[in-house]
Structure 1
Amino acid sequence: MKKSLLFVAAMFMAVCANAQGQWNAVGADDVAQVKEDKTVVSHGTVKSKAGEMTQVAQNEIQNATVFITDGGADWEVMSKDDNTFVSQGKTWSTSYIQGGTNGVDASLDKAGTTSAHVEFTPAVAGKVYVAAKYGKNKKIWTAKVPNSVIEAEELDFAAMGDYATDVWGQYITADGGLNAEQTVTDKDVYAALAYDVEPGNTYFFWVSGSKIMLCGLAFDASGDVNGISNVVASEADANAPIYNLAGQRVSSDFKGIAIQNGKKFVK
């Protein structure tokens, strides 16, 4: 077997071995930076401005790509403290980042712009956790969109109901569950919502009437995930092959969401 094939095989097994992880939206070292610049997001290195898709959790969550975006406003660090809460068996920070544009029912179109939301694209099946400070009267929405629809640029943000999941227009409960009626008596609740995801799709998460007070994300792969770990990737190659979300190699003039050097970006 050629060395290149051996490397690819090793990288594949490494991905399988690390198909999980947890990310806190506000890092422990962000206190000083937040005082100077509220748009600091991840450990003082990532900023999300209005209209930009910003990849987060690149080092913490494996086997998935995660983007936050807001068509009308910046994401900002709105809370930074040392408190934690436990939900879905995981410990989370109460610090959070927040988009600037409210979500609306069944739609990501807010007065002609895109409301604040999270986009999660898994490479393997598993369970994603969205930890946040949820307002008691705010509904939660998750859409499951085939990557082929996104690549073909056929997704209508104003008609997300075509891709509705079980997490659609429901209220969060104090333990992170869902309910058709509002049951939380406090003003807000810190909780993590968990839902199943499958490869070949991108999951859009948002809250109507809210800008999302996002504390963090986690991903646990399902099934057997054995393999080689601690494989170190080489430095990014500007001439590396480019692939679409279906894993097909594309040319440099490809338009849409592409992957190069293991990272997703918009061309």
Structure 2
Amino acid sequence: MKKSLLFATLLAASLTANAQVEWTMVSAKDAVTVPDAIITSVGIKTNAPVLGKGLSYNGVDVAHKDKTGNNVNWIGDGSTGYIKIQPTNAQVAGADSKMVTPDANRNLASAASDEEAMYIDFYAETVNTEDILDVESIEFDATKIGTDGAMVNAAVFYNEDPSLGATTWLITPENADAVDGEGGGTNPEGMGGHWNGVTDETWTTTNDAGYRPDRNDGSKKLNGENCVTHFTIPITNVPEDAYGITVRVYVYGISSNKQMLIHNVKINGGVKGKYVTGISTVKAEAAAKDVPTYNLAGQKVSKDFKGVVIKNGKKSILK
């Protein structure tokens, strides 16, 4: 009997729960209200997005233009849209019209610095920090608002240490075609974003080097029909003790009076450990009353079963 219970306990501890977290960045057009993340997994909790001091929220974009120049709502009837992000820096007198400061606005390394902090953070962690994350990929959408100068990049770091020491830039000249789901490349007219600037190891410190996503005007050159550049970036070498992850998206090369949309940010993967069931994926907003019931070995059982069961991610005893 003890041996059977030990086996069941070990099996339950080894199971993995599929996880997905998404920050839509959708808000009503009349006021900027940053929504909570949508969590479609047990064992995960999130923080609200956090802006670096170099960026601020600035209204809601409700529509874009298609290839023929017609307005198309991002969402439904246009009562909601995506939250716009804009630099907080003042325009430098006499500088290039697409620069906010002499270098930080164009330079990714400077944009990542504490002085400029031109980024937005999305953080998720396991409910119990003895569980660990098994992140497979991240995704996000990016759209420029009214300028061809804005650029994006991303990085990840783990747990609660906001350090870039454990990561590299996630979008580079070498992988841009692979991670850009809208076409990418050096100049694919009408096919989405494109890499702009140098293509060697000096790109991170060279002015005007970076990945330029679609503009919200599909009738303009180099912009796709959907006016969105979608990134899917595999994540490897996740630390064995990673219970939390920050997805940091950088917005740079952008005028002080222009905006960017960073929306539909997702973390894909799993949660492993003794406090997750690994049996079912549930919607965070509501759990159906008729969800299956499982024993500790992960086997579906009937309502007549007696003993410890797991239903809706919670343990209980049926007598």
Q: Return the TM-score normalized by structure 1.
A: 0.50
Amino acid paired to 1:83: N
Amino acid paired to 2:24: N
- Report the Cα distance in structure 2 between the residues aligned to 1:147 and 1:209, rounded to whole angstroms: 29
Equivalent pair of 2:119/2:248 in contact (CA under 8 Å): no
Task: Report matched runs for 1:7-22 at 5 Å.
Answer: 16-17=17-18, 19-22=19-22
- Report the Cα distance in structure 2 between the residues aligned to 1:111 and 1:138, rounded to whole angstroms: 20
What's the offset of the Cα at 1:65?
A: 3.5
Is the deviation greater in 164-173 or in 95-104?
Answer: 164-173
Structure 1 position 114 matched with structure 2 position 117: yes
For the residue of structure 2 that corresponds to 1:40, the secondary structure is: coil
- Report the Cα distance in structure 1 between the residues aligned to 2:17 and 2:117, rounded to whole angstroms: 34
- Report the Cα distance in structure 2 between the residues aligned to 1:203 and 1:178, rounded to whole angstroms: 24
Task: Report matched runs for 1:120-135 at 5 Å.
Answer: 120-121=123-124, 123-134=133-144
Structure 1 position 215 matched with structure 2 position 263: yes
Equivalent residue for 1:164, pick from 148, 152, 168: 168
2:229 corresponds to: 191
- Report the Cα distance in structure 1 between the residues aligned to 2:17 and 2:149, rounded to whole angstroms: 39
What's the offset of the Cα at 1:175?
A: 0.8
Cα 1:228/1:162, change in 2 over 3 Å? closer
| Pair member with larger Rg | 2
Structure 1 position 95 matched with structure 2 position 102: no
Structure 1: gaps (5+ residues): 43-55, 86-93, 234-267
- Report the Cα distance in structure 2 between the residues aligned to 1:114 and 1:142, rounded to whole angstroms: 13
1:69 corresponds to: 51
Deviations 1:160-194 (A, max 9, x none): 58842341478786715465744973368412111
What's the offset of the Cα at 1:209?
A: 1.6
For the residue of structure 2 that corresponds to 1:165, the secondary structure is: coil
Cα 1:229/1:11, change in 2 over 3 Å? farther
1:105 corresponds to: 108
What's the offset of the Cα at 1:73?
A: 5.0
- Report the Cα distance in structure 1 between the residues aligned to 2:82 and 2:37, rounded to whole angstroms: 14
Is the deviation greater in 185-194 or in 166-175?
Answer: 166-175
Cα 1:137/1:231, change in 2 over 3 Å? closer
- Name whichever structure is richer in helix by fraction: 1
Equivalent pair of 2:136/2:269 in contact (CA under 8 Å): yes
1:175 corresponds to: 182
Equivalent pair of 2:17/2:270 in contact (CA under 8 Å): no
- Report the Cα distance in structure 2 between the residues aligned to 1:79 and 1:120, rounded to whole angstroms: 24
- Report the Cα distance in structure 2 between the residues aligned to 1:57 and 1:106, rounded to whole angstroms: 28
- Report the Cα distance in structure 2 between the residues aligned to 1:111 and 1:65, rounded to whole angstroms: 23
- Report the Cα distance in structure 2 between the residues aligned to 1:138 and 1:161, rounded to whole angstroms: 25
Cα 1:190/1:113, change in 2 over 3 Å? same
Deviations 1:206-250 (A, max 9, x none): 1222453123222332799951455989xxxxxxxxxxxxxxxxx
Indicate the percent of aligned positions where both proteins have the same amino acid: 13
For the residue of structure 2 that corresponds to 1:106, the secondary structure is: helix
Q: Return the TM-score normalized by structure 2.
A: 0.44
Deviations 1:12-49 (A, max 9, x none): 97x814x125442115xx2xxx32x3x3222xxxxxxx
